[in-house]
Amino acid sequence: MTTPALLPLSGRRLPPLNLGASAFPHHRATLRLSEKFILLLILSAFITLCFGAFFFLPDSSKHKRFDLGLEDVLIPHVDTSKGGKNLGGFLIHGQGHDEHRHREEEERLRNKIRADHEKALEEAKEKLKKSRDEIQAEIQTEKNKVVQELKKKDSKPLPPVPLPNLVGINSGEPADPDIRERRNKIKEMMKHAWDNYRQYGWGHNELKPIARKGHSTNIFGNSQMGATIVDALDTLYIMGLHDEFREGQEWIDKNLDFSVNSEVSVFEVNIRFIGGLLAAYYLSGQEVFKIKAVQLAGKLLPAFNTPTGIPWAMVNLKSGVGRNWGWASAGSSILAEFGTLHMEFVHLSYLTGDPVYYNKVMHIRKLLQKMDRPNGLYPNYLNPRTGRWGQHHTSVGGLGDSFYEYLLKAWLMSDKTDMEARKMYDDAIEAIEKHLIRKSNGGLTFIGEWKNGHLERKMGHLTCFAGGMFALGADGSRDDKAGHYLQLGAEIAHTCHESYDRTTLKLGPEAFKFDGGVEAVAVRQNEKYYILRPEVIETYWYMWRFTHDPKYRQWGWEAAQAIDKYCRVSGGFSGVKDVYSSSPTYDDVQQSFFLAETLKYLYLLFSDDDLLPLDNWVFNTEAHPLPVLHLANTTLSGNPAYR
């Protein structure tokens, strides 16, 4: 046995000492007294050190409870009656045998902890050897597992509901070969729009067909929610594009997730997503669409937490915090936004048996009914904190449009039993006709905008939907004025067709004037664009259904050809910035409503009337067909779980 080299106080290095019996066989007798004394000194210092260590080193037993947290493991049964004593919360058995067992146990646990630490270290080392991509893939797999677990939790089946009579969900094949050819052309345009979105924008909200990449706007928040997929589903379905439909369904099933920190427009999400999902559910019967629609609706509900129950325009899907658009008059919510929830929300209550959705929209209706209306008109702005109107602007175009549409459609959707909605529609339309509808010098009927008691003689492309609405509401109108409203619808259709016909591209501008010598023409440069909007074609289709006048098919065909000629690019379809210019520039956006509405209305225009017949289906404002709920006497009582 060797001892370590010792340093004497002088600092001079001594030779190593071997104190074993055979270490110095010839020198034992020769050790001098001074050397013996030094040895003795060293030995006594060593003994003092050991003695001190025995007394002064920390007592590890005092720390067991905290270091190891193992008291339950070490001595599972605390029974002081059998000779054990409790020392500061830690129980030690008095018997020597027990102490031995205890030490062994402690040792075993220390070894285990050591082994665990080593294992963790090894794992960490292994991780560090992996590439960034491998680590990210592992994190993603873990995340997916959690999402799947959550999905299982959220995907509880909803209560069964008797499905309304679903007639005319396919076919509509026209007998006339020319019409059939036109219909096929529209289907081909849909394929072109979808395939390019599929290739370049898949999962994004919309497509930039020239840059060939995804696109989004603030209405969808900052998330990729596949708006085009959801919006396009029912169009794909009625066109018989079933492979594409299934692709969309698969994406929705696997990827459409609403637990995202994203601030979205309540109105847009309702009409495009909830409307799209509900229509896809009714057409295909696939539960996933219903479940997703209900999950999403749950995320919109916090928007209604305002002092009046009038919802905020935007809501954060994760936090539920809502707010209004900065540009809206005096912090107001917008009539066309909070007034365009009724159809979808009634269907949600019908399908889930939960009245919460129905109550929200009926609350809005009751509140509006109680309010004074300047000249019988509904202003576009309403403050959700005070319950007061903002600026007294009224429009049948942007900011107002679909509120009126949904009053009429609430009545139609209830199998014409919701008379309250019909009355509100009739009253509103009478006031609009009195104050907003005029004839131009050239004899064109137009719908202007009411601004603080003054009529602005300007009509928006959006306003053109009203031709179809007047025709749709003709049957059942007050004082049996069906003929009058059908005529009004025809006049608006004519005016809107003029707004197309008077351009170079034969596509309509965003807004057009009836002032001085100007008739149905855009004046300001920033009103000359066409962004693939559907409203004019929508009106042609309704007029076609109610009159079968071939001119509507002809006008629709002109519009389809112009779109194909001027908006089609190799990467999809794009809006154009100036419909009066012979060399237009593109805005590079393929709007989701082009697939949901524009192409759907065109396809229906060249189909027979037995495809989605209007006695059975009501189209939401994004052209998503929802079935009429044939409910006796009440607005809503179809779901047995609901009564």
The annotated binding site is made up of 621
Q: How far apart are CA 417 and CA 411, in angstroms?
A: 6
Smaller CB separation from ligand DMJ, 329 or 621: 621
Ordered DSSP codes for 44-65: HHHHHHHHHHHHHS--GGGGHH
* b/e per residue 305-336 (b: at least 16 CB within 10 A): ebebbbbbbbbbbeeeebebbeebbebbbbbb
Count of residues touching ligand DMJ (by CB under 6 A): 8
Figure out which of the listed residues 533, 545, 553, 624 binds ligand DMJ, where binding follows CB under 6 A: 533
Q: Are 266 and 315 in contact (CB under 8 A)?
A: yes
Q: Hey, what are 543's tokens?
A: 């007029």
Is residue 188 part of the annotated active site? The answer reads no
Closest residue to ligand DMJ: CB criterion: 621
The CB-of-126 to ligand DMJ minimum distance in angstroms stands at: 52
Smaller CB separation from ligand DMJ, 294 or 595: 595
Can you give the three-state secondary structure of 436-497, one letter per residue?
A: CEEECCCCCEEECEEECCEEECEEECHHHHHHHHHHHHHCCCHHHCHHHHHHHHHHHHHHHH
Q: Are 560 and 499 in contact (CB under 8 A)?
A: no
The CB-of-424 to ligand DMJ minimum distance in angstroms stands at: 19
Q: Is 631 helix (H, G, I), strand (E, B) or coil?
A: coil
Phi, psi values for residue 30, rounded to 5°: -90, 0
The CB-of-621 to ligand DMJ minimum distance in angstroms stands at: 4
Is residue 527 part of the annotated active site? The answer reads no
Smaller CB separation from ligand DMJ, 288 or 623: 623
Nearest alpha-carbon partner for 364 in 327, 337, 396, 398: 337
The CB-of-555 to ligand DMJ minimum distance in angstroms stands at: 18
Smaller CB separation from ligand DMJ, 220 or 258: 220
The CB-of-532 to ligand DMJ minimum distance in angstroms stands at: 8
The annotated binding site for Ca(2+) is made up of 621
Figure out which of the listed residues 332, 333, 417, 621 binds ligand DMJ, where binding follows CB under 6 A: 621
Indicate which residue of 244, 405, 519, 535 is catalytic.
535
Figure out which of the listed residues 258, 378, 485, 593 binds ligand DMJ, where binding follows CB under 6 A: 593
Amino acid letter at 529?
Answer: Y
Is residue 401 part of the annotated active site? The answer reads yes
Q: Where are the alpha helices (H) located in 482-581, listed in sequence order?
A: 482-501, 535-547, 550-566
Binding-residue pattern over the window 447 to 476 for ligand DMJ, x denoting contact by CB under 6 A: ---------------x--------------
Start-to-end C-alpha separation, the chain: 94
Q: Is 402 in the site for ligand DMJ (CB under 6 A)?
A: yes
Figure out which of the listed residues 491, 622, 625, 635 binds ligand DMJ, where binding follows CB under 6 A: 622
Indicate which residue of 268, 519, 578, 622 is catalytic.
268
Q: Are 420 and 633 in contact (CB under 8 A)?
A: no
The CB-of-592 to ligand DMJ minimum distance in angstroms stands at: 8
Q: Are 241 and 194 in contact (CB under 8 A)?
A: yes
Q: Are 541 and 556 in contact (CB under 8 A)?
A: yes
Q: Hey, what are 108's tokens?
A: 């075993």
Is residue 181 part of the annotated active site? The answer reads no
Indicate which residue of 418, 498, 510, 588 is catalytic.
510
Smaller CB separation from ligand DMJ, 333 or 352: 333
Smaller CB separation from ligand DMJ, 288 or 579: 579
Indicate which residue of 344, 401, 449, 622 is catalytic.
401
* b/e per residue 189-219 (b: at least 16 CB within 10 A): bbebbbebbbebbbebbbbbbbebebbbeeb
The CB-of-465 to ligand DMJ minimum distance in angstroms stands at: 7
Residue list 104-163, contact with ligand DMJ (CB under 6 A): none
Smaller CB separation from ligand DMJ, 102 or 624: 624
For binding to ligand DMJ (CB under 6 A), which residues are involved?
A: 402, 462, 533-534, 593, 597, 621-622
- Active-site residue numbers? 268, 401, 510, 535
